[in-house]
Amino acid sequence: MTTLVYGQESIDERTGTYVYAWSGLDALFNGEAFGFFTDTPVATPLQGRDGPYILDSTLFHIDENSRLTGIPLNVREPVRVRVANADRDSFSFYVRPAPAPPSPTCPLPARLLAISDIEGNFNALADLLQRNGVVDRQYNWTYGPGHLVLNGDFVDRGEAVTPVLWLLYKLEGQAEQAGGKVHFILGNHEVMNLYGDLSHAQRKYIGAAQRISGQRRWDQAGQALYSPRSEMGRWLRTKNVIEKIGPYLFVHAGLKPKLVAEGLGTTELNRIARKYYGTRAPTQDGKSREGTVLSSYDGPYWDRGLAMNWLYRAAFFVRDPFNAAYHRTTQAELEQVLRFYQAARVVIGHSVVDEVTADYEGHVLKIDVKHGREKGSDRTQGLLIENGAEYRVNGKGEKTRIGTAA
């Protein structure tokens, strides 16, 4: 009955066409096209202010009336970002040469703030950074020699992906000048965007990619928007998928003993992952060293082993009953991983928890939470490591100790 009234659809998310689509009877009353459709392009309308986008030497903006314009880029002039939120936030940044890929290791600073899975939620990111002294009201770096770790999945799902990425781009440059550092650890969604998988993106971003690139297929448009021709793509391709900061390993999803068995240290993990940025990996079966890194079950930006529960097991069974990895990492296996990487803690996102919390006798810190959509929310949380302690911090500026620093 629900299908009859409200419709149902199946989309080929590479081509951007309906495999089939039934409008539902409600289309007769709400002005939508009525009927059953096949092999029909999915609409991707622009939805007001968005951008900027930089492709080759052209700067593109989408205004509040959904009009796309492009002008020559002048790298000596600041680029303005206007956020389509209630506060009408804005900030500027300068285009700069792409940095070299960062070292996979560095010493632990006096203070470090880690955030994960913002998913295009500018309000949450802005509030957490401002309330915890990382930026001022004009979104300039105020954290001095402190470090900010972005533990993956800052793209997709949300409505402010572009401002989120440009803010991080800006802060990376300012942090370096102040003696601090921004670490952007790529998650599965950044990697997916790099090879053109926009299946979790808002339709307005697919529409922007199509219009800017001139490509109609979703995958080809997405690849162009995050290609080396684009400033955003060029920047993201320099990032790692794992970094060790002092005794802490930062990785988006997790680390399996299988990586240890293959002798895959941080340098090799990053090398293999970076080799396939922008390309759908030819193998993800986990039966080779490269396949293990790229595997949707074993790879460091996909693994669920440190967070395995009945819900993930059920989802894996439905999707791939014979090949899925259902095993939850044991305490002994985790300790084996930590010994191999000469680390004391692993910090992960990817798998949602109710609040930033410690697991596995304090050796795993889980920081993927459902951040608040509005500013000033205690649901927006991050991990602070400071003065020999680990803290949960939130969008209200509150700080709760959760453990002793490693």
Q: pTM of the prediction? A: 0.95
Is residue 125 within 8 A of residue 158, CB to CB? The reply is: no
CA angle 342-343-344, nearest 5°?
135
**Rounded-to-integer distance, Cα 160 and Cα 235, Å:** 18
Contact 312, 304 (CB under 8 A): yes
At residue 31, the pLDDT reads 82
pLDDT, residue 237, reads: 97
User: What pLDDT is recorded for position 98?
Assistant: 84
**Residues 104, 89: Cα–Cα separation, whole Å:** 33
CATH 3.60.21.10 domain extents, the chain: 105-404
Quick check: 151 and 188 in contact, CB under 8 A?
no
In degrees and rounded to multiples of 5, residue 59 shows phi and psi of: -105, 120
Between strands 399-404 and 181-184, the pairing is unpaired
Crossing angle for the helix pair 203-213 and 218-225, to the nearest 10 degrees: 80
pLDDT, position 281: 73
Tokens of 266: 């941080």
Residue type, 344: A
Query: Distance between CA 16 and CA 319 in Å, rounded?
Result: 22
pLDDT of residue 101: 94
Residue 282 pLDDT: 64
Rounded alpha-carbon distances, angstroms, from residue 124 to 117, 185, 395: 10, 18, 7
| Positions of the chain with pLDDT lower than 70, given as ranges | 282-286
Q: What is the pLDDT at residue 318?
A: 87
Identify the burial level of 110 via C-beta atoms within 10 angstroms of its C-beta, where 0-12 means exposed, 13-18 middle and 19 or more buried. exposed
Residue 28: predicted pLDDT? 86
By the 8 A CB rule, do 406 and 346 touch? no
Q: Could you give the CA distance from residue 276 to residue 194 in angstroms, rounded to a whole number?
A: 9
Determine the Cα–Cα distance for residues 351 and 308; give it in Å rounded to an integer.
Answer: 9
To 5 degrees, how large is the angle CA 148–CA 242–CA 288? 165
Provide the 10 A C-beta neighbour count for residue 199: 15
Distance CA 352, CA 364 (A): 14
pLDDT value, residue 2: 86
Q: Tell whether domain 105-404 is in CATH 1.10.3720.10.
A: no
What is the token pair recorded at 164? 């989120």
Q: pLDDT at position 283, please?
A: 56
The DSSP 8-state label assigned to residue 76 in this structure reads T
